[in-house]
Amino acid sequence: MNNVSISDLRANLLEYLKKAQSGEQITVTSNGHLLATITAPTQQHDAAKKKLRQIAKTAFIGDVLAPIGENWDAMS
């Protein structure tokens, strides 16, 4: 993790953004207080697929129950 002051970030913004893009985490501070953390964007599509794969390991058909007294079309 790389700690930088807000003034250093302003002066070298492109450099720090490139570092974040390559996977480095940048922590921005002002007068010693944490302001923000800059990281590379996550691939939401890939993250969602990974989470669904984890859920699928424990899920089973009929896992969702119908409301009391009502039949769902999907259950037919």
Q: DSSP per residue over the chain, as a string?
A: -EEEEHHHHHHTHHHHHHHHHTT--EEEEETTEEEEEE-PPP-HHHHHHHHHHHHHTT--TT-SPPPTT---GGG-
**Regions of the chain with pLDDT less than 70:** 62-76
| Residue 47: per-residue pLDDT | 83
**Of 2.40.10.220, 3.40.1620.10, 3.90.650.10, 3.30.70.920, which CATH number belongs to 2-59?**
3.40.1620.10
Closest CA to 63 of 45, 47, 75, 51: 75
